[in-house]
């Protein structure tokens, strides 16, 4: 079993330093989820103590997953992440299904969720909490997606420059909320609701339903999502055996500390009933501490932050989908491009339209932020579970594989048990919404066989032609490694970190 073609022959720049790796994890994990999930988490568990317990437990579970991914990333330092692990452990079908479901469900759902958060906060400038008409909320979210699709169709460069500025805004906002919480705790404790966190009070009225706890976990895990991102670009990480474990652990600890403190700040400032009924809790929090003017500033900031997350999800997803189409992993039309100017790199118009249409359909069909969260989390955690199964499988079938970083076996076992339990209970609690992802997953099987038959036919034709001209032809890799850089388009040094891997195993066809 070996790596052929792109993953081995491609020379990477090793541009991701240890500090950059930590920044990547923190920047991806701390997204729009922290501005949307707290109210849903509190609504399900119904007590301050249980709310904080969920945030801590979700952080620890994500950390367990992160250290497992550290072993995989250090042992298989190839760009592509799960695609590499699945093909090596389970074969090409599993790797294809991961790419297929990511393209048709996970990536569009991520875009849809960020768009809804943007809509909630942007519309709160005009509508009071609870008075926002659903058609306005839905229309604003879909309108934002359409606008971004048009901008990115015109120029990838313009999209990336705007994304860089808005990402910094997101981190500043998180820091401001944390500082405001510290200020309120130190100087305005007489006005606080800190009594909610007293031991005798903090677990009153707590939900005892396993379904409620799983739904709370789902919303919380959505906020923590992104801790696997470094593995997608592992081939570009300097000293991956040290950098990947260090960056994932430190990055998640920073994110978890921020998330827990932000929720403590909410709980000492606002009554728990207000938190559980609000979809814009950051605005309510800011209004108590710095008044209406400050609350409007925070509202605009959070709306722009969510817009930047939507922007980044659409942009990175489109690049990855286009490369999957180019390398014939997905049907060729996924790689459709549009070049409006001769001096610009063609934009991935087909991938942008596919993501935008699916994301808008999810918003229009489900109309509920939390329903889309369930679809997204259920999809993601199925593949997280499979990735950890791949870790255990590789330990069994490839004991000789060099593992510079090795996690204690109990960690993947605990992570796998908890994640499988959550996936099953989440489907049981919400079968209708989770079935959207299940249908996409099942549809991927016939798509794979039809597409694979077509690729084999084309490959055999090329092999015959090469043989006639005296050339040998090896196995076509599942994914072709590419570097997506805006330098090619506008002589700029900004790079997109959505790259696909060229990895093939002769043992898995």
**What average pLDDT does the segment 248-274 reach?**
91
Query: Would the pLDDT of 9 be above 70?
Result: no
Q: 491 pLDDT band (50/70/90 cuts)?
A: very low
Which of 498, 508, 502, 506 has its CA nearest to residue 83? Answer: 502
Given a cut of 50, is residue 132 above it in pLDDT?
Answer: yes
Residue 141 has pLDDT above 90, yes or no: yes
pLDDT number for residue 391: 94
Q: pLDDT grade, residue 462 (50/70/90)?
A: low
Measured distance CA(412)–CA(28) in Å, rounded? 23
Which residue, chain included where needed, has tokens 């079968």?
431
SS3 495: strand
pLDDT at 320: 83
Whole-number Cα distances in Å, 53 to 32, 58, 185, 337: 21, 8, 20, 47
pLDDT tens digits for range 392-422: 999 999 988 888 889 999 999 999 999 999 9
Band of the pLDDT at 260, cuts 50, 70, 90? Answer: very high
Question: Can you say whether the dihedral through the CA atoms of 383, 311, 112, 294 is positive or negative?
Answer: positive
Task: Please say if the pLDDT value at position 472 is more than 60.
Answer: no
> Residue ranges of the alpha helices (H) in 155-197?
156-187
CA pair distance 57, 64, nearest whole angstrom:
10
Quick check: pTM over 0.85? no
Average pLDDT over residues 20-27: 84
Mean pLDDT of the 134-162 span: 82
Q: Residue 3 — very low, low, confident or very high, per pLDDT cuts 50/70/90?
A: very low
- pLDDT bracket for residue 24 (50, 70, 90): confident
**How far apart are the two ends of the chain, measured CA to CA in Å?**
12
The mean pLDDT value of the chain amounts to 81
Q: What angle do CA 279, 128, 363 make, to 5 degrees?
A: 45
Query: At residue 62, does pLDDT exceed 60?
Result: yes
Instruction: Using pLDDT thresholds of 50, 70 and 90, give the confidence band for residue 51.
Output: very high
Q: Would you say residue 495 has pLDDT above 50?
A: no
Asked if 489 and 156 count as a contact pair (C-beta separation under 8 A), the reply is: yes
Question: Is 208's pLDDT higher than 50?
Answer: yes
User: What pLDDT, on a 0 to 100 scale, did the predictor assign at position 189?
Assistant: 64
- More confident call, 308 vs 475: 308
pLDDT for 161: 58
Residue 146 has pLDDT above 90, yes or no: yes
Residue 235's pLDDT band (cuts 50, 70, 90): confident
The β-bridge partners of 485 are 495
For the segment 71-97, the average pLDDT, to the nearest whole number, is: 88
Average pLDDT over residues 147-170: 73
Classify residue 128 by burial, with Cβ atoms within 10 Å: 0-12, 13-18, 19+. Answer: exposed
Residue range 114-129: average pLDDT?
Answer: 87
pLDDT, greater one: 452 or 393: 393
Q: What percent of the chain has pLDDT above 70?
A: 81
Distance CA 116, CA 316 (A): 19
pLDDT in tens, 375-398: 999 999 999 999 999 999 999 999
Choose between 461 and 224: higher pLDDT. Answer: 224
**In this predicted structure, what is the pLDDT of residue 233?**
75
Indicate the DSSP class of residue 491: S
Residues 364 and 357: beta-carbon distance below 8 Å: no
- Tell me what pLDDT residue 505 has: 32
CA distance linking residue 364 with residue 380, whole number of Å:
22
Averaged pLDDT, 222-231: 88
- Residue 480 has what pLDDT? 37
Cα Rg for the chain, rounded, in angstroms? 23
**Among the ranges given (240-244, 299-303, 438-442), the one the predictor scored with the smallest mean pLDDT:** 240-244
Q: How confident is the model at residue 339 (pLDDT cuts 50, 70, 90)?
A: low
């Amino acid at each position: 079993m070996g790596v052929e073609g792109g993953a081995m022959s491609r020379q990477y720049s090793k541009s991701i330093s240890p500090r950059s790796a930590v920044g990547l994890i923190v920047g991806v994990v701390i997204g729009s989820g922290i501005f949307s999930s707290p109210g849903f988490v509190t609504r399900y568990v119904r007590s301050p103590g249980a709310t904080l317990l969920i945030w801590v437990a979700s952080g620890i579970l994500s950390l367990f997953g992160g250290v497992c991914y550290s072993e995989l990333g250090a042992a298989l330092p190839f760009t592509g992440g799960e695609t590499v692990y699945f093909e090596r452990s389970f074969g090409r079908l599993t790797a294809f299904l991961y790419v297929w479901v990511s393209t048709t469900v996970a990536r569009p759902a991520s875009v849809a969720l960020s768009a809804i958060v943007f809509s909630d906060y942007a519309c709160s400038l005009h509508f009071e909490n609870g008075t926002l008409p659903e058609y306005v909320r839905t229309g604003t979210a879909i309108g934002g997606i359409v606008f971004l699709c048009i901008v990115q169709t015109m120029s990838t460069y313009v999209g990336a420059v705007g994304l860089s500025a808005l990402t910094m805004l997101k981190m500043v906002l998180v820091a401001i909320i944390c500082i405001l919480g510290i200020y309120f705790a130190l100087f305005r404790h007489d006005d606080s609701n800190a009594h909610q966190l007293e031991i005798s009070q903090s677990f009153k009225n707590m939900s005892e339903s396993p379904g409620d706890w799983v739904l709370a976990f789902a919303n919380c895990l959505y906020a923590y999502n992104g801790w696997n991102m470094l593995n997608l670009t592992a081939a570009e990480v300097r000293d991956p055996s040290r950098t990947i474990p260090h960056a994932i652990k430190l990055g998640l600890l920073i994110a978890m500390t921020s998330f827990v403190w932000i929720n403590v700040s909410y709980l000492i400032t606002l009554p728990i009933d207000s938190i559980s009924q609000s979809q814009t809790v950051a605005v309510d929090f800011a209004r108590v501490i710095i008044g209406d003017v400050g609350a409007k500033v925070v509202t605009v900031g959070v709306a722009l932050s969510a817009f930047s997350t939507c922007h980044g999800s659409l942009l990175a997803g489109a690049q990855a989908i286009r490369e999957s189409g180019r390398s014939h992993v997905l049907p060729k039309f996924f790689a459709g491009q549009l070049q409006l100017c001769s001096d610009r790199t063609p934009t991935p118009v087909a991938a942008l339209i596919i993501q935008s249409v699916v994301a808008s359909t999810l918003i229009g069909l489900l109309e509920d932020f939390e329903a889309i969260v369930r679809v997204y989390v259920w999809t993601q955690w199925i593949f997280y579970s499979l990735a950890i199964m791949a870790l255990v499988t590789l330990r069994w079938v490839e004991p000789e594989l060099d593992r510079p970083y090795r996690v204690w076996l109990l960690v993947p076992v605990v992570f796998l048990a908890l994640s499988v339990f959550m996936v099953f209970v989440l489907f049981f609690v919400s079968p209708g919404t989770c079935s959207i992802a299940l249908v996409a997953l099942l549809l991927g099987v016939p798509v794979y066989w039809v597409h694979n038959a077509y690729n084999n036919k084309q490959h055999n034709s090329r092999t015959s032609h090469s043989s006639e001209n005296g050339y040998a032809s090896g196995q076509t890799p599942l994914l072709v490694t590419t570097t997506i850089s805006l330098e090619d388009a506008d002589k700029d040094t900004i790079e997109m970190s959505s790259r696909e891997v060229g990895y093939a195993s002769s043992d898995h066809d």
